[in-house]
Amino acid sequence: MSQITTVSTVPIAGQKPGTSGLRKKTPVFMGRHYLENFVQAIFDVVGARNEDGGGKTFVLGGDGRYFNDRAAQVILRMAAANGAARVIVGQGAILSTPAASHLIRLNRTDGGIIMSASHNPGGPNEDFGVKFNMPNGGPAPEGVTEAMYQRTTEITEYKVMEAQDVDLGRVGRHQLGAMVVDVVDPVSDYAALMESLFDFAAIRAMFAAGFRMRMDAMCAVTGPYAVEILEHRLGAPRGTCVNATPLPDFGGLHPDPNPTWARALMDEMFSDAAPDFGAASDGDGDRNMVVGRGIYVSPSDSLAVLAANAHLAPGYAAGLKGVARSMPTSAAADRVADALGIAKYETPTGWKFFGNLLDAGRATICGEESFGTGSDHVREKDGLWAVLLWLNILAVRKQSVAEILREHWVRFGRNYYSRHDFEAIDTARAEAMFAALRAGLAGLPGQVVEGMTISAADDFAYTDPVDGSVSLKQGVRVLFGDGSRIVYRLSGTGTEGATLRVYLERYAPGPEGLDLDAQQALAPVIRAAHALAGIAAHTGRTAPDVVT
């Protein structure tokens, strides 16, 4: 028998979603009422029933990290108690973020709950997270997450069904009280979507002709997707995918695909035994890092190359409507948009800001400097999608990654780019640094630093061109007359202190000076960034923890 219980609770401080959902240390999420309060706030805001009283349908899945399976059972019991009619769950409560986005759209559901802290480490003492995606498949916009947060501050009770666990290991239809739980294979619909976008025959022929790649899934959710698509459907040799079994603690790895955390892949790609192409993905499968033999592709460059070549893939043969990038992402994609004569957009950090542009058909491809690229095929960034688009381009152009990148820079010029992260800074000190920076902005234009003249300085504000919503204080920008740029932001995904992100960019028009080391090319910009913000004086840090 299943019975619905109403449990008394009290608000828990700090349940405010950040850049991408609510993320906290796992023990916090496992604390009494913590998950329940937030999930109830979600249902209170979006509703589990339609206006006519009928139940809604949701998608549920996560990246498989520690507590994913237990949290899924709680969320299902609460969905049933709140009146939902049906929940579609990935087998084993597993769904990559892009696959969840696809299922939400494919089944015309009322949204979905994704359990992930993405690139943050997982485990009993690491991070967990929950976010809600809208019926369009995209992350809830700020207005909705703010309403959920407000709800958590006034919550007095939540509803839960008393019932046995649903067997999420068995694909098929299950019942939880009156609610249907459809457990689905997490991979098949997503793989079919990829086949509809890319020239699998051409990629298969490339592998058959000896092309070799390494795909590092970092013991996170992409493994099963990559094995099925790359090895089974495209004929890449068995073993192409490594770290392909999702583990609750990601095998102790930090599933953040960047040169620091995907060190093993970088070492292989720069060794004598390097394959033609390398890629890595993050905890929930929405990020990608791409590496050629002996050459690293910065995410900003990857976005630009994909935009310039997307028409080579069947799904984009008609061309792009527009390209959107987050503000801290380099302007490389803008140059491509200008050359193609298509629209370009600059949004705040976080995929939720691309949703309206994609829905309105204004942008086809979007990207962030943080290893996120995607298109209008779903409403999340999509790691494997980016890998497959690269493979499709390589199969058509029959050139190496290095050749493609060099030709790109010769044609468009090169935006040297790097991000320096200073992690776990004392929050008060980080805030003091930003207060000082903001207070001094008006006096910056005209000043000369490291031989470069500051042409403008501001705190990025964004007005959504589709719904007119305004987002303020999205990052401090310092622009120089020669096209160089510094951006300062505080991370909204961390769970410990503050993380300062400093984004550095410098444009080289070419044809000379296109092959420098990025850190060397950026040296004056880096020195200027330290000087202008007084990073050492405010934070006590002289060098970044992570450089991408």
CA gap 133, 114 in Å, rounded: 8
Written as one letter, the residue type at 45 is V
Instruction: Quickly tell me which residue has 């009619």 as its tokens.
Output: 85
Residue number of the CB atom closest to ligand VG1: 118
- Please tell me which residue in 118, 300, 302, 326 is annotated as part of the active site: 118
Per-residue H/E/C for 118-147: CCCCCCCCCEEEEEEECCCCCECCHHHHHH
Distance, in Å, from the CA atom of 80 to the CA atom of 175, rounded to the nearest integer, reads 10
The single-letter code of the amino acid at 167 is: D
Residue bearing tokens 């991070």: 127
To Co ion, the closest distance from the beta carbon of 340 in angstroms equals 28
Least spacing, CB of residue 317 vs ligand VG1, in Å: 28
Cis status of the peptide bond prior to 511, with omega within 30 of 0: yes
Stretch that binds ligand VG1, among 66-74, 279-287, 439-447, 453-461 (CB under 6 A): 279-287
- When asked if residue 471 is in the footprint of Co ion (CB under 5 A), the reply is no
The distance of closest approach from Cβ of residue 175 to ligand VG1 in the complex, given in angstroms and rounded to an integer, is 33
Instruction: Please report which residue ranges of 97-226 form alpha helices under DSSP H.
Output: 97-106, 142-152, 188-197, 200-208, 222-226
Nearer CB in complex with Co ion: 231/382: 382
Cα gap 121→123, rounded to integer Å: 7
User: Which distant-in-sequence residues (6+ apart) come within 8 Å of 109 by Cβ?
Assistant: 56, 57, 58, 59, 88, 103, 135
Q: Can residue 240 be called a binding residue for ligand VG1 (CB under 6 A)? A: no
# of chain residues touching Co ion (CB under 5 A): 5
Interactions with ligand VG1, residue window 341-380 (CB under 6 A): 349-351, 368, 370, 372
Pick 56 or 287: Cβ nearer ligand VG1: 287
Q: Which option in ligand VG1, Co ion, none does residue 375 bind, with CB closer than 5 to 8 A by kind?
A: none
Residue 123: which of Co ion, ligand VG1, none does it interact with, CB under 5 to 8 A by kind?
A: none
Question: Closest-CB residue for Co ion?
Answer: 118
Q: Give me the least distance between CB of 216 and ligand VG1, in Å please.
A: 16
Q: Cβ closer to Co ion: 287 or 335?
A: 287
Annotated catalytic residue 302: no
Looking at beta carbons only, is 118 or 471 nearer to Co ion?
118
Contact 315, 345 (CB under 8 A): no
| Distance in Å, CB of 41 to Co ion, minimum | 23
Cα distances (angstroms) measured from residue 316 to each of 311, 356, 392, 398:
5, 20, 11, 19
CA-only gyration radius of the chain, Å: 23
- In sequence order, the 6+-apart residues with CB closer than 8 A to the CB of 278 are 213, 214, 215, 216, 265, 268, 269, 290, 291, 292
Nearest CB to ligand VG1, comparing residues 22 and 81: 22
**415 or 499: CB nearest Co ion:** 499
CA distance 173 to 468: 42
Residue spans of beta strands (DSSP E) within 470-530 = 470-471, 476-480, 485-490, 498-508
Which residues ranging from 103 to 122 are in contact with ligand VG1 (CB under 6 A)? 118-119
CA torsion 508-509-513-516 (nearest 10°) is 40
Stretch that binds Co ion, among 42-50, 118-126, 297-305, 384-392 (CB under 5 A): 118-126
167: its two tokens: 């067997």
What's the min distance (Å) between Cβ of 171 and Co ion?
25
Report residue 291 CA to chain centroid gap.
Answer: 18
Residue 282 makes contact with ligand VG1 by CB under 6 A: yes
Q: How far is the CB of 501 from ligand VG1 (least distance, A)?
A: 6
CA distance 267 to 269: 6
Distance CA 158, CA 10 (A): 10
Closer CB to Co ion, residue 19 or residue 118? 118
Q: Can you spell out the DSSP letters for 58-103?
A: EEEEE---TTHHHHHHHHHHHHHHTT-SEEEEEEEEE--HHHHHHH
- Binding residues with ligand VG1: total (CB under 6 A): 18
* Among the listed residues 37, 57, 118, 222, the single contact to Co ion using CB under 5 A: 118
Nearer to ligand VG1 among residue 57 and residue 493 (C-beta) = 493
19 binds, among ligand VG1, Co ion, none (CB under 5 to 8 A by kind): ligand VG1
Q: Which is nearer to Co ion, 334 or 382 (CB)?
A: 382
Return the structure tokens found at 424.
């776990």
From the CB of 471, what's the least distance to ligand VG1, in Å? Answer: 13
The answer to whether 544 contacts ligand VG1 (rule: CB under 6 A) is no
Show the CA angle centred on residue 319, arms to residues 315 and 320, nearest 5°.
95
Q: Looking at residues 312 to 341 of the shown chain, list those that interact with ligand VG1 (rule: CB under 6 A).
A: 326
Report the nearest approach of Co ion to the CB of residue 119 (Å): 5
Residue 287 found at the interface with ligand VG1 (CB under 6 A) = yes
Binding mask 449-488 for ligand VG1 (x = CB under 6 A): ----------------------------------------
**Residues 391-420 contacting ligand VG1, CB under 6 A:** none
> Which residues ranging from 485 to 514 are in contact with ligand VG1 (CB under 6 A)?
491-493, 501
- Name residues contacting Co ion, limited to 278-317 (CB under 5 A): 282, 284, 286-287
Give the separation between CA 459 and CA 474, rounded to whole angstroms. Answer: 7
- Nearer to ligand VG1 (CB atom), residue 55 or residue 257: 257
Minimum gap (Å) between residue 100 Cβ and Co ion: 12
Choose among ligand VG1, Co ion, none what residue 329 binds, the Cβ cut-off being 5 to 8 Å by kind: none
Q: What single-letter amino acid sits at 73? A: Q
- Please report, as ranges, the residues that interact with ligand VG1 according to CB under 6 A: 19-20, 118-119, 282, 286-287, 326, 349-351, 368, 370, 372, 491-493, 501
Catalytic sites, residue numbers:
118
Binding region for Co ion (CB under 5 A): 118, 282, 284, 286-287
